[in-house]
């Protein structure tokens, strides 16, 4: 008796509703994103936001346990080309330090601190004012009112500015020989670069990590104001194009490299802002030239305005005057009122500044080569305003690999 093979019955399957299918697919995609997206830790610098108009750069991240200083640190910012600020010249064509050759103490300190935090410097010899002949003093300068020390300071800075032009550098950072900075300078500069590119129009792939449309970046100063608060700008309409331009700010929030606001110093009322806030903004009228960067275009404007054409006073005041004339005449169509428009200089400041004058331990009268204090007073420990993890005060810790010391704990 043969076995009859039964064929299976074909059962008609109902297709699930379309919205159910879409829901299942979406759920699967979410699971893939959750499980396969790489994680990265936030830097201590915190989140970044900006206002007038809004910009939202990607938050920088660092690998767990990674040191935020030294030549090994290479940045984690977006866009990726911002991370060029972590190279041996901090994203500039060169770094010049201006100082008298005989101040070997300051040269030793700068050489060691810059090496440990991960960048190289080149020295520009400072100049003593009494070596400058009257014929070489710019038009408009009164050397008696200027003081010989101020005249020498001006010439030293001019020699650094001229090097940018002679060497055809795209840019250079110029600093004075008693500078200090936070151990975490490179992550700070990542934010400065993002801010500079947000404030001024920049190509998608600029030649400089800071963008290509700036002339001067004021990174170290005694104090700075927002340009819209200057007397000449207070009465201008909020709709004035110049006011809209100068009021733009890139705000770095929760920046733990900023001192507590009851400790931070400067000309801005920091108590009106949230704790640990730093701004990248259009320059108003800063005091002191602790550290500043010039593009090639900016160096040409500065050498012309502060030497070849004239000089109006001490170097820092004259440099601030160039930026102030430029920002205060932005959008002014009356040529007679605008004057030379500050050569249309595009200047950016960082407030609080990220470079500041270090007062080293030892003789107090060793602080300055412009002003002398003959009191024989001794300072037992060095200090620097507005710098949390002072690189100068943490030299031993960087050498030994031990915990960094805060000036505000």
Nearest-angstrom CA–CA distance, 306 and 314: 10
- At 104 the pLDDT is 97
123-127, 235-239, 350-354: range with lowest mean pLDDT = 235-239
> Higher-confidence residue: 156 or 34?
156
- Segment 125-138 shows an average pLDDT of 97
> Higher-confidence residue: 372 or 321?
321
Q: Using CA of residue 47, residue 48, residue 52, residue 54, what is the dihedral sign?
A: negative
- At 1 the pLDDT is 36
- At 369 the pLDDT is 64
- Name the residue among 403, 405, 398, 406 with its Cα closest to residue 116: 398
- Segment 135-154 shows an average pLDDT of 95
Structure tokens at 399: 């050498």
Q: How far is CA 335 from the centre of its chain?
A: 33
User: Is pLDDT of 178 > 90?
Assistant: yes
For residue 332, CA distances in Å to 226, 318, 336 come to 19, 22, 10
31-40, 191-200, 264-273: range with lowest mean pLDDT = 31-40
- Segment 233-254 shows an average pLDDT of 95
Write out the DSSP string of 99-165. E-TT-HHHHHHHHHHHHHHT---EEEE---GGGS-GGGSPTT--HHHH-HHHHHHHHHHHHHHHHHH
pLDDT band at 362 (very low <50, low <70, confident <90, very high): confident
The pTM for the full model equals: 0.83
- At 371 the pLDDT is 58
Nearest-angstrom CA–CA distance, 140 and 145: 11
For residue 92, CA distances in Å to 87, 112, 349 come to 9, 20, 16
User: Is pLDDT of 209 > 70?
Assistant: yes
Of all residues in the chain, the percent with pLDDT exceeding 70 is: 81
**Which 3 state secondary structure label does DSSP give 7?**
coil
Q: Which helix (H) or strand (E) holds 181?
A: strand 179-181
Write out the DSSP string of 48-102. EEEESS---PPPPEE-TT--SSSTT-----SSGGGGGGGSTTTTSS-EEEEE-TT
Nearest-angstrom CA–CA distance, 58 and 324: 31
User: Is pLDDT of 76 > 70?
Assistant: yes
- At 62 the pLDDT is 53
Q: How far is CA 14 from the centre of its chain?
A: 65
State the chain's maximal CA–CA distance in angstroms.
131
- Segment 351-379 shows an average pLDDT of 80
Q: Which residue spans within 230-290 are E strands per DSSP? A: 249-252, 278-282
């Amino acid at each position: 008796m043969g076995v009859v093979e039964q064929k299976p019955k074909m059962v008609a399957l109902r297709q699930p509703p379309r919205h159910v299918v879409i829901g299942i697919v979406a759920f699967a995609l979410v699971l893939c994103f959750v499980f396969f997206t790489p994680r990265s830790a936030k830097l201590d610098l915190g989140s970044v936001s900006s206002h007038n108009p809004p910009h939202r750069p990607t938050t920088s991240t660092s690998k767990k346990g990674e040191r935020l200083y030294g030549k090994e640190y290479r940045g984690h910012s977006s866009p990726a080309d911002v991370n060029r600020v972590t190279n041996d010249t901090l994203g500039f064509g060169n770094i010049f330090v201006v100082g008298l050759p005989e101040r070997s103490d300051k040269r030793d300190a700068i050489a060691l601190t810059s090496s440990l935090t991960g960048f190289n410097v080149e020295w520009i010899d400072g100049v003593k004012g009494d070596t400058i002949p009257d014929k070489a003093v710019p038009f408009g300068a009164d050397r008696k009112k200027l003081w010989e020390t101020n005249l020498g300071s001006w010439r030293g800075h001019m020699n650094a500015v001229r090097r940018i032009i002679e060497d055809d550098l795209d840019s250079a950072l110029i600093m004075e020989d008693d500078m200090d900075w936070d151990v975490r300078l490179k992550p700070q500069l990542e934010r400065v670069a993002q801010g500079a590119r947000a404030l001024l129009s920049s190509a998608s792939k600029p030649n400089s990590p800071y963008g290509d449309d700036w002339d001067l970046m004021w990174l170290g100063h005694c104090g700075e104001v927002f340009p819209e608060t200057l007397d000449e700008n207070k009465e201008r309409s909020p709709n004035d194009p110049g006011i809209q331009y100068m009021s733009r700010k890139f705000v770095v929030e929760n920046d733990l490299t900023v001192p507590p606001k009851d400790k931070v110093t400067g000309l801005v009322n920091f108590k009106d802002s949230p704790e640990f806030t730093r701004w990248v903004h259009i320059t108003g009228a800063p005091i002191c030239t602790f550290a500043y960067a010039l593009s090639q275009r900016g160096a040409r404007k500065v050498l012309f305005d502060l030497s070849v054409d004239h000089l109006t006073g001490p170097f820092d005041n004259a440099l601030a005057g160039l930026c102030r004339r430029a920002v205060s005449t932005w959008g002014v169509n009356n040529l007679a009122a605008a004057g030379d428009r500050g050569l249309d200089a595009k200047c950016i400041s960082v407030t609080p500044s990220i470079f500041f004058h270090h007062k080293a331990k030892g003789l107090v009268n060793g602080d300055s080569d412009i002003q002398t204090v003959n009191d024989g007073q001794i300072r037992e420990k060095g200090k620097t305003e507005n710098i949390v993890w002072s690189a100068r005060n943490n030299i031993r810790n960087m050498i030994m690999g031990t915990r960094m010391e805060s000036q505000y704990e």
